[in-house]
Structure 1
Amino acid sequence: MPEFAAAPFAFEVRSLVEVVIIYGALLLSLIAMVHCAVQKPDAFNAIGTLTKGTWLGILAISFALATLFGLFGGARFFGLIAIAAALVYLLDVRTGIKDIGGSTY
């Protein structure tokens, strides 16, 4: 009988991990969108990446999908996509903009 007691705990842990993933995705996407919105468009051309509008579109769509399907649906996969898009922006594009001195903050 004790082996069945672990099953409810496992589902609680899984639910907690899913909540952390979706809220983390929303927070990272929001931070990335705000950073992208306040940058100069020329900075994106200077580092040789996608344009500012393209990055804003990617980040906004990933944020919207994570919100719609993560919070109101059951597809946590879109939360992982949002995390990936935000991390690519923050770790690649943001650091490139910072390196050339084009960052506003």
Structure 2
Amino acid sequence: MALSAPLFYQTVVLVLDLVVGLIAFGLTVVSFGHCLIQRADAFTAIGTLPKPGWLALLGGTALLGLVHIVYSLPFGLLVQMIGAAAGLIYLLDVRAGLRGLTDGRGGW
């Protein structure tokens, strides 16, 4: 007799996928919003990707993440994890550099 997973495992996987996807989507949207209001010359001053590059990366992954949440794409969670990683890099590294450049208090 073979043991099998409970009948509700697909529901658990779908709910976890949705929760992780919503968190990653929120992270990329917050990063995109912060990037949108920053000055373009500040990005080159701190030596990172230019502002249009960050906007394209964060906006593209946020858009694909939204499509994944609505339509459940096959590789959508992978795209959302890439977007979450880009959002974390932006918030923890680039935002700190921009903050140090604009108000002079520094990051960490």
Unaligned runs of at least 5 residues, structure 2: none
Partner of 1:67: 66
| Moved >4 Å (runs of 4+) | none
RMSD value, Cα:
2.2
Higher RCO (CA < 8 A, seq sep 6+) = 1
Deviating more after overlay: 44-53 vs 77-86:
77-86
Partner of 1:50: 49
Deviating more after overlay: 90-99 vs 73-82:
73-82
Pairs within 5 Å for 1:5-16: 7-16=6-15
The code of the aligned residue for 1:43 comes to: A
CA distance in 1, matches of 2:80, 2:70: 9
Deviating more after overlay: 72-81 vs 53-62:
72-81
CA distance in 2, matches of 1:71, 1:86: 21
- Give the fraction of aligned pairs with identical amino acids, expressed as a percent: 33
Partner of 1:77: 78
Partner of 1:27: 26
TM-score by length of 2: 0.79
Q: 1:93 to 1:38 in 2, by over 3 A?
A: same
CA distance in 2, matches of 1:102, 1:71: 40
Q: Which has the higher helix share?
A: 1
The CA deviation at 1:86 is 1.0
SS for the counterpart of 2:49 is coil
The code of the aligned residue for 1:97 comes to: L
The CA deviation at 1:35 is 0.2
Native 8 Å contact 1:39 1:102 kept in 2: no
